[in-house]
Copies of this chain bind each other. A is one copy, B any other.
Amino acid sequence: MTHLVYPGALHTRFQHVIGAMHLMGLAIETLRGKDVQISEEEEEAVLAAILLHDVGHGPFSHSLEHTLVEGVSHELISSLLMDKLNIEFTGRLDLAITIFKDQYHRRFLHQLVSSQLDTDRMDYLNRDSFFTGVSEGVISFDRIIKMLNVKDDELVVEVKGIYSVEKFLIARRLMYWQVYLHKTVIAAEQMLIKALARAKELSNRGEKLFASPALEHFLLNRINKETFLLDESHLTWFTRLDDTDIMSAIKSWADHPDLILSKLCGKIIRRELFRTEMSNEPFSESYLEELRERVAERFGLSAQEVGYFVYDQVVGNSAYDSSTGKICVLDKHGELKDIAEASDLSNIEALTKRVNKYAVTYPKEIGYITQHQHTIINI
């Protein structure tokens, strides 16, 4: 939904994986130039792994990840689809899958696909920066790649590249707060999620809603991880879903007699997006309660239904999370250090902190509640 804030951001996951595969090719070329042996088979496998790493994403990706199907991550779906393709290719994806699952002994190949400094992030930061016009996200991917090396089968970065990596971490943080977690973007995403949830609820009550065959499958069936794995048809239907199923349905539901559904869909279509307030501290329960009461009154909603129109959430991000994997710096003596220690500027240490913000989203029709004392930030 980012394009509702940054109109240029219409690029697709297809473009992204082509780009990430291109960066992977550059990384392989660089590493081979430093006498890291990578066989033809390993090259093909790691290129296939990055090409397919996002294949399990459904329409609107993260926004709808837990709406259409409960508790089934896109990584699991990617994995299932790779297995299906592997059968089609009679085992030729064996090594790609092993690398993707981090079960290959040369761990740097997996780290090039998925780690704190992978070709996935290098591509999406630059791509999103380019298409949104938020130039803060530009990173020097070519220089970072040139600084990559391998030590004991782990991916490392040479000390000369330390500033470029620092810049990369900072760029990622800025993109989170200015783009991915932009207050209007998260408003639009929540509205979409709630519209789908409402449609699912109505369908389960037996109401007939317009939907493409694929979307209808997910509206009518309650699918969780267990059932998803048991019945292969779910995966087949999932691959037929894309953004056009969702958006053509949303357009049609804007005329549905259910007021909650039609309100949400109509407002999405006409870009009458809810207001999001963000704060560094949690909103008081009394403030949230007042918001909910006003919204309930204004739109004639029950206490239960108001959750379709008022959302409070915690959004957060840490630029560098050393608990889930480190970025190792190789110094001139061949020794490794965590980048947070290697930097002489203590900056990266600051980046390891997780930053959380509190967001509440509600229809603009109710105006502002002026008496509250929160420090509203507005980025």
Chain A residues packing against B (C-beta within 8 Å): 7-8, 10-12, 14-15, 18, 134-136, 138-140, 143, 159-160, 162-164, 166-167, 170-171, 173-174, 177-178, 210, 212-214, 240, 242-245, 247-249, 251-252, 255, 280, 331-332, 344-347, 349-351, 353, 355, 375-379
Cβ B344 vs Cβ A347 within 8 A: no
CA A12 to CA B11, docked complex, whole Å: 11
From B10, B160, B171, B378, give the contact of A159 (CB < 8 A). B378
CA A164 to CA B379, docked complex, whole Å: 11
The 4 closest A-B pairs by CB, nearest first: A244-B244, A244-B248, A244-B247, A135-B140
* Nearest CB of B to A37, in Å: 23
Q: Which of A15, A163, A174 has the most CB of B within 10 A?
A: A163
* Nearest CB of B to A236, in Å: 11
From B10, B135, B240, give the contact of A12 (CB < 8 A). B10
Cβ A159 vs Cβ B379 within 8 A: yes
Can you name 15 A-B residue pairings with CB atoms under 8 Å? A7-B15, A10-B12, A135-B140, A136-B140, A138-B138, A159-B378, A163-B174, A163-B379, A166-B174, A212-B248, A213-B252, A244-B251, A248-B248, A347-B347, A350-B350
CA A378 to CA B8, docked complex, whole Å: 33
Cβ contacts under 8 Å, A170 to chain B: 166-167, 170, 347
CA A213 to CA B210, docked complex, whole Å: 8
Cβ A212 vs Cβ B252 within 8 A: yes
Cβ contacts under 8 Å, A379 to chain B: 159-160, 162-163
Cβ B355 vs Cβ A350 within 8 A: no
CA A332 to CA B349, docked complex, whole Å: 29
CA A241 to CA B255, docked complex, whole Å: 14
Given contacts A212-B252, A248-B248, A347-B351, contact A164 B136 (CB under 8 A): yes
Q: Which of A134, A135, A139, A346 has the most CB of B within 10 A?
A: A135
Cβ contacts under 8 Å, A331 to chain B: 375
Cβ contacts under 8 Å, A160 to chain B: 378-379
Given contacts A178-B163, A346-B350, A379-B162, contact A251 B135 (CB under 8 A): no
* Nearest CB of B to A330, in Å: 12
CA A248 to CA B173, docked complex, whole Å: 36
CA A212 to CA B171, docked complex, whole Å: 42
CA A213 to CA B160, docked complex, whole Å: 43
* Nearest CB of B to A52, in Å: 17
For A170, give the chain B residue with the smallest CB separation.
B170
Cβ contacts under 8 Å, A11 to chain B: 8, 10
Cβ contacts under 8 Å, A140 to chain B: 134-136
For A251, give the chain B residue with the smallest CB separation.
B240
